[in-house]
Chains A and B, each alone.
Chain A
Amino acid sequence: MTGLYFHIPFCAKKCPYCDFFSVPYHKETTSQYVASIIRNLAAYAPEDTVDTVYFGGGTPSLLSAAQIGDILNACAKYAHLSENTEITLEFNPTGERTQYLRDLRKVGINRLSIGTQSFSDAQLSLLGRTHRAADGIRTVMTAYEQGFYNISCDLMLACPHQSEIILSETLNTLANLPITHVSAYLLQVEEGTPLSRNTDLLAALPDDDASVDRYLQAVQTLAEYGFRQYEVSSFAKSGFESRHNMKYWKCEPFLGIGAGAHSCYGGKRFAVPKDVAAFCNSRIQPTEIIDDAPCQAQEKLMLALRMTSGAALSELSVNALKVLPRLRNAGYVTVYDDDRVSLTPKGFAVSNAVISMLLE
């Protein structure tokens, strides 16, 4: 089973904290871009059955429902889509988009990942988002009314001035919406972003201790509402884990199409250069090999340990087993079913260090 990922690198406005690849939206470029995606699908759609399709960005919801429909038709035409393919679109919650949502549902999108980020207007404006809390709520409600029963919301943690109370209000709002999934990210200051130069905002960021307090608060509150943590930043109602994202952590194949898209496919990891024109003008997208022998034991272990399912003890080295009791006593990992190890929420907060010890 293979996943298909489409990178739609267009944004109406770049968020000040974001360092993902995106370019300003141009209607003409998008149609060329969609044409190029379809060309690529025709050229080398996976032979294996495809069971997940994911439109990521950028802002995929800037494409028209017709364009998305064209891409999905091409998928159906050139690839073998499984019967219950999970088809996700990242959706930016701005404006009144009832018709658009209805059309998306019609062309085949069955899962939405909505960039709500927060349900506090003050927080949203600090983050430089153009939407308001009410827009987020309305988008979710409308989507639900239009037949989306698998909705994920993004949540940003450890934002400037984000107190326990502010976060708690956001979490309560979020958890009462008809959604099945939450992606909760700790805000990270990336070099070169406007946020990294905004000294006022930087000064208002919670310190490491407070950041992790927010993270643990989110983990706990979400659990109370039935969203079980299954990965460092991912939470879902039972059975609604993102099948597409799980492929990343399980070293399962996925093919990425679009400028800046990554793939782990055909025994290689490769990426398409972050160049929209180059992508549009090539018959087949140019790629750069990142790793020609991916998914070795070390890498699998590193990725598996990001999930709450963790790894089998038998996959750990002797050195790792030696440090295991200390990690366990400190509450960073648990051993369950006698033979599996997984990180606790406290362990996820320091997962770089914990995983690097377990990889030794």
Chain B
Amino acid sequence: MDSQKIRNFCIIAHIDHGKSTLADRILEKTETVAQRDMEQQILDNMDLERERGITIKARAVRLNYRAQDGELYTFNLIDTPGHVDFNYEVSRSLAACEGAILVVDASQGIEAQTLANTYLAIEHDLEVVPVVNKIDLPSADPERVCDEVENVIGIPAMDAPRISAKMGTNVEAVLEKIVSDIPAPVGDPDAPLKALIFDSYYDSYKGVIIYVRVKDGTVKVGDTIRLMATGSEFVVTETGYMSPSSLINTGTLVAGEVGYIAASIKSIGDTQVGDTVTLAENPCEEALPGYRKVNPMVFSGIYPADGAKYGDLRDALEKLQLNDAALTFEPETSIALGFGFRCGFLGLLHMEIIQERLEREYNLDLITTAPSVIYKVTLTDGTVQYIDNPTNYPDPSLLASAEEPMVKADILVPSEFVGNIMDLCQDRRGTFKDMQYLDDTRVTLKYELPLNEIVYDFFDALKSRTRGYASFDYELMGYAPSKLVKLDILLNGDIVDALSFIVHADKAYPRARKIAEKLKDNIPRQLFEVPIQAAVGGKIIARETVKAMRKDVLAKCYGGDITRKKKLLEKQKEGKKRMRQLGTVEVPQEAFMSVLKLDE
């Protein structure tokens, strides 16, 4: 294949600006997919992705396009995840491309993710092709949006195609732009193999399928490949490209191409995104830059509501992990919740997705503990520990210092909400860094925030304070010293380990009060009153009481019919099963979940 006729590109956009719809149209226009086979948003093929309108995992597809110059071009479209949790995956997908189509909504303009992703693309030396989408909307203002792209991002946008991906309007102009503006790949097919892994998934017949961009060299069926980060070696059983519906085994991939390799790889842990594939016999000298091991940032205990389902939960997590190297889990035990797993996630969205998939695809009823970040503590004897489970937080007397992870956050809001957001960030212990007007009405705010302040409910709080208009992006920036304390919750005098969490000393009191109130609302009245206490280091700082239940009686008797009374007692026993018996207190699942949503 003539590498001059190849275009490798991705589409970047803020959520809901129409990335997947444009991808669908491109697939249609390049006649890669027959109209009748079109399923809306073909690249997002997980149910959850379609529902949430986001791409969770990268996908890639090869398309053929006959351009106006009469030549046939090969397009490799790489879809990127649209969320900050998957920033690293985004960066690896970008590294597989020469160009990026930047989709901007003609009425909403630039949003936080637009900026973040564009800067990421520019960092990777990609040619950015702006496209203004949704011009069919009555509120569309393409001229203003083009101005904004030029002024805010600083790339020329006056000749950006104005399109409606939904209606199919002017999509050809985008295709021509891809041909004319995005450079063809460069690379030496005869050099030692150097291919970038940008995605992988587990296939139960072929083993792990890795998606690669070949930078240099050639790979063929029968070659022994080496994955440079892990050093593991495999014999290639299949290689080729991805059509929208299946893998096409061509037997070889050369420099400039995007495709897949199957090599009977058993574990997805061997195929780290960002790793470099080379040949065992003639390896390249150094790996491609930018690889890093993906580490989870947010941790939470996941327990089956029914203790008997522990094994099912483990099986489900193992299956999910086959396709998700970023998910970690290890067994943990809670006095309150029994046997479960401490799971690590890239971020909150990742956590929510995993929980939702466990519940939906594996039919599990779960109890999840409050998400925690990794705290770095130095003990008085000088040892350093990383704590991802509040239960393991050291006794204050052993603690020399504590640090917590910080993020740089970009928040984009209509200017009328700036005050609200500043209050919110202040409340979340943020440090104001910068504020810029994108135009007359929109402002970008830069804050440094502790990660633990945004893992609970920050995004919801942001949305509710801006009537849904704020957009938000963050990146991790390292650890900073902090005054941290462990907050314990006691029910009827006993600590409930699953409700303990680590919090900044200044926030302990309001947080404690709120949790106590939430629990009070969510623990049903029972025969005996239930004192709820919140304590820091043994000192009670908040208290509520669930008053004893007073009325629970079936008074009537219908001509000696006692069936209802019997049924009621049976129901009562059933109901008890759904409660967690903590000492003498019965706690419903909802109570555990309610403390995760303190902002409501």
Contact = CB atoms under 8 A, between A and B. Distances in A.
B559 A256 contact: yes
Interface in B546-600: 548-563, 565-566, 568-569, 572-573, 584
Contacts of A326: 528, 584
Interface in A229-265: 232-233, 245, 247-248, 254, 256, 260-264
Given A248-B560, A290-B563, A303-B562, A352 B554 contact: yes
A262 B569 contact: no
B555 A262 contact: no
A186 B528 contact: no
A229 to B, nearest CB: 12
Interface string B499-533: 00000000000000000000000000011100000
B555 A353 contact: no
Contact of B555 (A188, A209, A356): A188
Contacts of B526: 353
Interface stretch (A67-75, A100-108, A343-351): A343-351
A233 B528 CA distance: 23
Nearest to A264: B560
A271 B564 CA distance: 13
A20 interface: yes
Given A5-B560, A7-B559, A264-B560, A349 B553 contact: yes
| Candidate in B526, B558, B568 with the most chain A CB atoms within 10 angstroms | B558
A350 B548 CA distance: 10
Nearest to B563: A290
Given A233-B555, A349-B553, A247 B527 contact: no
A188 B224 CA distance: 77
Contacts of A303: 562
Contacts of A353: 526-527, 549, 552, 572
Contacts of B555: 185-186, 188, 232-233
Nearest to A5: B559
Nearest to A354: B527
A194 to B, nearest CB: 17
A351 B561 contact: no
A350 B560 contact: no
Nearest to B558: A20
Contact of B553 (A7, A262, A269, A351): A351
Nearest to B568: A352
Nearest to B559: A56
A330 B553 contact: no
Interface string A21-40: 00000000000000000000
Task: Name the residue in B552, B553, B573 with the highest tally of chain A Cβ atoms < 10 Å from its Cβ.
Answer: B553
Nearest to A232: B555
Interface string A322-360: 000011001010000000000000001111111111010
Interface in A1-56: 5, 7, 20, 54, 56
Contacts of B553: 186, 232, 348-352
Contacts of B572: 352-353, 356
Contact of B527 (A5, A256, A330): A330
Contact of B556 (A215, A233, A247, A355): A233
Contacts of B562: 248, 269, 299, 303
A188 B556 contact: yes
B575 to A, nearest CB: 10
Contact of A359 (B528, B560, B561, B569): B569
Contact of A262 (B549, B561, B568, B573): B561
Interface residues of A, number: 46
A263 B562 CA distance: 10
B526 to A, nearest CB: 7
Contact of B549 (A54, A211, A260, A350): A350
A350 B568 contact: no
A172 B557 CA distance: 25
A65 interface: no
A208 interface: yes
A212 interface: yes
Contacts of A212: 550-551
A254 B560 contact: yes
Contacts of A114: none
Contacts of B558: 20, 262
B550 A209 contact: yes
A302 interface: yes
Nearest to B561: A262
B527 A211 contact: no
A330 B584 CA distance: 14
A73 B546 CA distance: 58
A269 B572 CA distance: 22
Given A212-B551, A262-B559, A349-B550, A302 B527 contact: no
Given A212-B551, A302-B566, A350 B559 contact: no
Contacts of A56: 559
B585 to A, nearest CB: 12
A35 to B, nearest CB: 21
Interface in B111-133: none
Nearest to B554: A352
A137 to B, nearest CB: 24
A42 B551 CA distance: 45
Contacts of A256: 559-560
A223 B2 CA distance: 102
Contact of A248 (B548, B557, B569): B557
Task: Choose among A215, A264, A350, A359 the residue with the greatest number of B CB atoms under 10 Å from its CB.
Answer: A350
Contact of A330 (B548, B554, B563): B548
Interface string B525-546: 0111000000000000000000
A100 B572 CA distance: 46
Nearest to A271: B561
Nearest to A184: B555
Contacts of B566: 299, 302
Which residue, of B550, B560, B565, B569, has the highest number of chain A Cβ atoms within 10 A? Answer: B560
Given A233-B555, A330-B528, A262 B550 contact: no
A290 to B, nearest CB: 6
A357 B573 CA distance: 9
B557 A245 contact: yes
B392 to A, nearest CB: 34
Nearest to B584: A326
B551 A350 contact: yes
Interface string A181-222: 000011010000000000000000000110110010000000
A185 B527 contact: no
B551 A357 contact: no
Contact of A352 (B552, B559, B563): B552
A14 B549 CA distance: 33
Contacts of A352: 552-554, 568-569, 572
Contacts of A354: 527
Contacts of B569: 302, 352, 355-356, 359
A98 B60 CA distance: 92
B527 A357 contact: yes
A349 B561 contact: no
A345 to B, nearest CB: 11
Interface in A261-291: 261-264, 269, 271, 290
A350 B565 contact: no
B226 to A, nearest CB: 64
9 contacts: A5-B560, A20-B558, A185-B556, A212-B550, A215-B551, A233-B557, A262-B558, A349-B551, A350-B553
Top 6 nearest A-B pairs by Cβ distance?
A208-B551, A212-B550, A262-B561, A352-B552, A350-B552, A233-B555
Interface of B: 526-528, 548-563, 565-566, 568-569, 572-573, 584
Given A56-B559, A330-B528, A351-B553, 18 more contacts: A5-B559, A7-B559, A212-B551, A215-B551, A232-B553, A233-B555, A245-B557, A248-B557, A262-B558, A302-B565, A326-B584, A330-B548, A332-B527, A349-B552, A352-B568, A352-B572, A353-B549, A354-B527
